[in-house]
């Protein structure tokens, strides 16, 4: 098995592990900071899981670019989520809390990943 295949399987298994752990934390804790963070991480990890399945069937160049971008974006998005508040005063039309920010970032990540994978998959390689 080559290194790219191992890396693809690593992303897939890691995302499954993170989803399961965040689900367990969500179901066992009440309104605490670890529960709020695990819920946010859950919403960020679901697209990583979906796109790791998709990249199993793409070119290695598409996977390598996607993996590199995923590493940077995931860390950046976690940092943004850590900076957002866990609750609001309730008068906001659209409250900016960890859950809404994580869902918005998951959608943004999905759009970026989809564009990158499609671009790299259909781009002709220069020989």
pLDDT digits (tens, 9 = 90+) for 12-33: 888 888 888 887 877 776 666 6
Q: 120's torsion region: left (phi>0), alpha (psi -120 to 50) or beta?
A: alpha
Residue 108 has pLDDT above 90, yes or no: yes
- How much of the chain, in percent, has pLDDT values that exceed 70? 87
The predicted pLDDT at position 125 comes to 65
Band (4; pLDDT cuts 50, 70, 90): confident
How far is the C-alpha of 41 from the C-alpha of 104, rounded, in Å?
A: 12
pLDDT digits (tens, 9 = 90+) for 42-80: 888 999 999 999 988 888 888 889 999 999 999 999 899
Tokens standing for 68?
A: 């590199």
Rg, the chain, Cα only: 16
Q: Return the half-sphere exposure (C-beta side, CA atoms, 13 A cut-off) of residue 110.
A: 13
C-alpha distances out from residue 25 to 15, 28, 80, 118, Å: 15, 5, 21, 35
| Cβ neighbour number for residue 94 with a 10 Å cutoff | 8
pLDDT digits (tens, 9 = 90+) for 81-100: 888 877 776 666 767 788 88
Torsion of CA 5, 6, 11, 12, to 10 degrees: 70
pTM: 0.79
């Amino acid at each position: 098995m080559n290194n790219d295949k191992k890396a693809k399987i690593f992303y897939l298994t890691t995302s499954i592990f993170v989803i399961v752990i965040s689900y367990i934390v969500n179901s066992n804790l009440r309104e605490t900071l670890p529960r709020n963070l695990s819920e946010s991480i859950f919403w960020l990890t679901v697209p990583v899981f979906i796109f790791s399945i998709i990249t199993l069937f793409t070119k290695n160049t598409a996977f390598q670019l996607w993996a590199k971008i995923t590493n940077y974006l995931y860390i950046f998005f976690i940092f943004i989520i850590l900076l957002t508040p866990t609750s609001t005063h309730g008068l906001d039309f659209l409250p900016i809390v960890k859950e809404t920010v994580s869902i918005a970032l998951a959608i943004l990540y999905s759009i970026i990943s989809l564009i990158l994978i499609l671009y790299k998959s259909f781009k002709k390689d220069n020989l």
